Amino acid sequence: GTPIEAWIAEKTLAANPKTDGLVKGNWFANDLHGEWARGRAKQNLSAWLAKPGNSETSPNRPKHPPEPGAMWTYGIDRLKHFNLRGVIWYQGESNAELLKDVLCYRDTLPLLISSWRKTFRDESLPVLVVQLPRIDNAPSRVEWPAFRQIQREVANATAGVELAVPLELGDARRRGNVHPATKQPVGERLADVAMRTAYGKPIAGAVAPQLKSATTTNGQFVVTFNTFGCTLKLHKDAFPNKDGFG
């Protein structure tokens, strides 16, 4: 998958002091970017780099999809003359492995939203963000909870941005399976959020429960949620260990 910075114009990243480091110097040697993406780029461009006169810093070097601005250039910029009713943003795995990338997402996600709204001439363009689902406990996944929290914080702080939550749909038993095997519920939840956010039609259950507080009382851990008028139920099939929780 591609990191979020690939979907933001290079000039936009460069103009922001919190993200300008992402576009400085040789991308292949820039430790602000994931090692996996840079390694895959070297592999995919190996034939081109092996030709005489070509190098990682050649001005005519083909851009690789994970590079800053690459997907913006190849895709989004070419759509700028269209009008959009809204955007579904389902991305994040490539920015969730290291804490430094997770923390950077607090700056890059709002930047993507504001820059796309400017590009498509709609400062209130609805953006539906799909929160990362649960996954296995591999070492590369330890920062996923923090990443989900940042997705939540950005959605709560930005008008016209809503979160679709497929948390329990992820398969924590299949190592490396970053996408929910069951797709339809994800689409249905997005449809409910879109009806509420983009079309102004209230749909019961469209807003996922949000944590309000967590306290200890008489040796018990008490968690309180804002359910937005709906009933919160525990589905043990979704959390199959002996305690009923994942």
Query: What pLDDT, in 10s, does the model give residues 12-38?
Result: 999 999 999 999 999 999 999 888 889
Please give the model's pTM, rounded to 2 decimal places.
0.88
> Mean per-residue pLDDT for 120-128?
97
- The residue with tokens 């795995």 is 93
Return the structure tokens found at 102.
């997770």
pLDDT at 56 over 50: yes
Q: What is the CA radius of gyration of the chain?
A: 20
Given a cut of 80, whether residue 234 has pLDDT beyond it is no
| Among the listed residues 14, 22, 2, the one whose alpha carbon sits nearest the alpha carbon of residue 76 | 2
Residues near 201 by beta carbon (within 8 Å), at least 6 away in sequence: 195
pLDDT > 50? residue 246: no
Average pLDDT of span 189-193: 94
Q: Is 22 exposed, middle or buried (0-12, 13-18, 19+ CB in 10 A)?
A: buried
pLDDT of residue 241: 53
Average pLDDT, the chain: 89
* 38 in Cβ contact with 44 (< 8 Å): no
Report which of residues 3 and 135 the model is more confident about: 3
- Spell out the SS3 assignment of the chain: CCCHHHHCCHHHHHHCCCCHHHHCCCHHHCCCCCHHHHHHHHHHCHHHHCCCCCCCCCCCCCCCCCCCCHHHHHCHHHHCCCCCCCEEECCCHHHCCCHHHHHHHHHHHHHHHHHHHHHCCCCCCCEEEECCCCCCCCHHHCCHHHHHHHHHHHHHHCCCEEEECCHHHCCCCCCCCCCCCCCHHHHHHHHHHHHHHCCCCCCCCCCCCEEEEEEEECCEEEEEEECCCCCCCCCCCCCCCCCCCC
Tell me the pLDDT tens digit for each residue of 159-188: 999 999 988 888 766 666 677 778 899 999
Is a pLDDT exceeding 50 seen at residue 244? no
Q: Which of residues 98 and 137 earns the better pLDDT score?
A: 98
- At 238 the pLDDT is 53
* Contact present, 46 and 32 (Cβ < 8 Å): no
Rounded mean pLDDT of 101-127?
97
Residue 80 reports pLDDT greater than 90: yes
Whether the predicted pLDDT of 214 surpasses 60? yes
Residues 137, 184 contacting (CB under 8 angstroms): no
pLDDT for the residue numbered 237:
58
Per-residue pLDDT, 118: 98
Looking at residues 227-232, what average pLDDT do you find?
77
178 and 119 Cβ atoms separated by less than 8 Å: no
At residue 235 the predicted structure's pLDDT band, cuts being 50, 70 and 90, is low
Residues of the chain with pLDDT > 90, as a percent, come to 63
